[in-house]
Amino acid sequence: MTARAQAKHIRQSPYKVRRVLDLVRGLPVDEARITLQFTNRKAADTVLKVLDSAIANAEHNFALDADELFVSEAYADEGPTLKRWRPRARGRATKIRKRTSHITIIVAEHEEVA
C-alpha cells in the first residue's frame, strides 16, 4: 500500500530540488526526516513538508503505521517557467528563466518476505 503527496509550483529549479531528494530516496521515514532537518539547502524545508504530508496521508487515508513506512519514490518534475527580461548593453535584452518545480513523494510499507 502506498500514499503520496505533491507540492506544485515551488519557486526553485528542479535540478536543485533533485539533489535533496536523492538524499532521502529509499530511506525509512524517520531517517529521512532527520536527514532533511540537518541538510543545509533551501529545498530541504519544502521536501520535509511534502514528506510529512505523505506520512499523514498514509496514516489517515490508509491506516498505515508511520514506523513501517519508507520513501519508495521521490522526484521533482519541471513546472511552468516564468519568463522575464533583463536589459543589456546597446539596447539589447536577455531572457531570465525563473523555473518552478512539482515535488512528489510516495511512501510505502515494508513488505514482509516469508
Fold of 2-109: Ribosomal Protein L22; Chain A (3.90.470)
Q: Model-level pTM greater than 0.85?
A: yes
For residue 112, name the pLDDT band (cuts at 50, 70, 90).
Answer: low
At residue 110, the pLDDT reads 83
Instruction: Look at the alpha carbons of 54, 59, 60, 62 in this order and tell me if their dihedral is positive or negative.
Output: positive
Domain range summary for the chain, segments of one domain joined by +:
2-109
The closest of 73, 77, 76, 75 to 26, measured between CA atoms, is 73
